[in-house]
Amino acid sequence: MPLDRAACAALDRDDPLAEFRDAFEIADGVIYLDGNSLGALPKATRQRLADVVAREWGDELIRGWNTAGWITLPQRVGAGIASLIGAEADEVIAADSTSVNLFKLATAALALRPGRRVIVTEPGNFPTDLYILQGVRDLLGDRVELRVVEPDRIEQALDADTALLLLTQVHYKTGRIHDMARLTAKAHAAGALALWDLSHSAGAIDVDLNAAGADLAVGCGYKYLNGGPGAPAFLYAARRHQAQLRSPLSGWMGHAAPFAFGDDYAPAPGIERMLCGTPPILGLAALEIGVGIMARADRHAVRAKSMALGDLFIRLVEESCPGQFILHSPRDAQARGSQVSFGHPEGYAIMQALIARGVIGDFRAPDVIRFGFAPLYVRYVDVYDAAAHLKDIMDSGTWQDAAYQTRGAVT
């Protein structure tokens, strides 16, 4: 692995994904290392949204549901996402937020395992995963018990009372990857279902839900899928479960015949039953562009570049700032998602100093500075330059500037 900038530029010239960077709007002087939180804006999204607003909405008005195909957009976007996560087109649908989809699927999963009341998950998961499970427990009372166990105790925690195992495949803070196939098999051996949060996986690492035998999954549209802030999320239900799966949010868009306007709920036959209300067309139109770009990229090239960028960054930071940061991510690229996290007690101020120089990563309390490497638009030279800025900030002590100490509402 080269360590000088010219060698990094050479890697960029040989990068089979290099052409994709031009599909995104990234301002000069910005090194964007936060695509794991909010993906960059695809250039085509600007045009597409203008068209949806002016022509489809402005001219077509209500007719757009048919003439512009709005009514099937959740399925179409879902099918695109399915191609990225090893699922069939009719197993994935774009809808709601990841939090809401977690609620729908966790609740529905409990009903698929009558007589079992335990949901197994891990502490330190992304908060919404835990909060949603706590809400499900509060709603269903004695019918639910949460068993929150450290990762190395997950397998022992699965037993004859377990209805569901809920895990996030790539940890949001550290980037550690859970072995989906192995843990799903363990859940099945105990008679339980497995629900995977793919928020930091889809578009970043190889995901093969069907090969892993996964039952259910959810994930974000605004991270590596580049759907824009608050983009609709997605959910997956293996075909074998769909006929039994009942959404607790039995809205009319999940009805078998929504436009019959009947009084009684009857779920749609397939994955559509997991829809709830009217789909957000502007958000879905933007997400469709992001998913389309990602679907054109070679999955293996994406993963190979993601691992190489992460390895390069770890090496550069450890060589240029020896002993100053604790690596919180797995060193082994195979065990790491598309991000690298370092710990430092002054992490917040250091990240603010980086952002002031145009190197945009993020901070996660209490001490984690997090750098995401979205392989479609992050270059090897970006990684080199980011590490050089970090060294400069540490050597000069500029992070101690008072301006970098004040925390905003969103960190």
Q: Is 98 in the site for ligand PLP (CB under 6 A)?
A: yes
329 touches 176 (CB < 8 A): yes
Q: Is 197 in the site for ligand PLP (CB under 6 A)?
A: yes
Which of the ranges 93-101, 137-145, 287-295, 300-308 carries the binding residues for ligand PLP, by CB under 6 A? 93-101
Q: Positive or negative CA dihedral for 297, 303, 307, 310?
A: positive
Name the DSSP class of 97.
-
305 in active site: no
In whole angstroms, how close is the CB of 225 to ligand PLP at the nearest point?
A: 12
Residue 75 or 98 with smaller CB distance to ligand PLP:
98
Q: What gap in Å lies between CA 209 and CA 304, rounded to an integer?
A: 20
CA–CA distances in Å: residue 111 to residues 107, 184, 283: 7, 19, 31
159 known member of a binding site: no
Burial of 120 (0-12, 13-18, 19+ CB in 10 A): buried
328 touches 342 (CB < 8 A): yes
Q: Is 220 in the site for ligand PLP (CB under 6 A)?
A: yes
CB crowding 333-351: b at 16 or more within 10 Å, else e: beebbbbbbbebeebbbbb
43 in active site: no
In the numeric block, which tokens belong to residue 316? 């550069």
Residue choice 103, 126, 234, 371 for contact with ligand PLP (CB under 6 A): 126
Contact pattern for ligand PLP over residues 288 through 327, marking x by CB under 6 A: ----------------------------------------
Residue that has been written with the tokens 């082994």 in this structure: 332
Residue 175 or 347 with smaller CB distance to ligand PLP:
175
In whole angstroms, how close is the CB of 338 to ligand PLP at the nearest point?
A: 13
Tell me, by CB under 6 A, how many residues bind ligand PLP.
13
Listed in sequence order, the DSSP H helices in 321-397 are 347-356, 380-396
Which of the ranges 176-184, 192-200, 276-284, 392-400 carries the binding residues for ligand PLP, by CB under 6 A? 192-200
Listed in sequence order, the DSSP H helices in 268-298 are 281-296
Footprint on residues 324-353 left by ligand PLP (CB under 6 A) = none
Q: Is 199 in the site for ligand PLP (CB under 6 A)?
A: yes
In whole angstroms, how close is the CB of 198 to ligand PLP at the nearest point?
A: 8
336 in active site: no
Ordered DSSP codes for 106-173: HHHHHHHSTT--EEEE-TTS-HHHHHHHHHHHHHHGGG-EEEE--GGGHHHH--TTEEEEEEESB-TT
Q: What gap in Å lies between CA 209 and CA 216, rounded to an integer?
A: 9
Q: Is 34 in the site for ligand PLP (CB under 6 A)?
A: no
198 touches 36 (CB < 8 A): no
Which of the ranges 67-75, 91-99, 107-115, 251-259 carries the binding residues for ligand PLP, by CB under 6 A? 91-99
Q: What gap in Å lies between CA 361 and CA 54, rounded to an integer?
A: 35
Q: Is 224 in the site for ligand PLP (CB under 6 A)?
A: no
Footprint on residues 167-186 left by ligand PLP (CB under 6 A) = 168, 172
* Residue of 173, 176, 223, 364 marked catalytic: 223
281 touches 70 (CB < 8 A): yes
| Interior angle at CA 272, CA 234 and CA 146, nearest 5 | 55
370 in active site: yes
Q: What gap in Å lies between CA 366 and CA 343, rounded to an integer?
A: 9
Residue 134 or 405 with smaller CB distance to ligand PLP:
134
Residue choice 30, 44, 72, 97 for contact with ligand PLP (CB under 6 A): 97
* Residue of 20, 32, 103, 126 marked catalytic: 126
Which of the ranges 125-133, 202-210, 259-267, 289-297 carries the binding residues for ligand PLP, by CB under 6 A? 125-133
Residue 168 or 184 with smaller CB distance to ligand PLP:
168
* Residue of 222, 313, 363, 380 marked catalytic: 222
143 in active site: no
> What residue ranges bind ligand PLP (CB under 6 A)?
97-99, 126, 128-129, 168, 172, 197, 199-200, 220, 233
Binding residues for pyridoxal 5'-phosphate, by number, are 98-99, 126-129, 168, 197, 200, 222, 252, 278
Binding residues, by number, are 98-99, 126-129, 168, 197, 200, 222, 252, 278
Q: Please identify every residue annotated as catalytic.
A: 126, 197, 222-223, 370
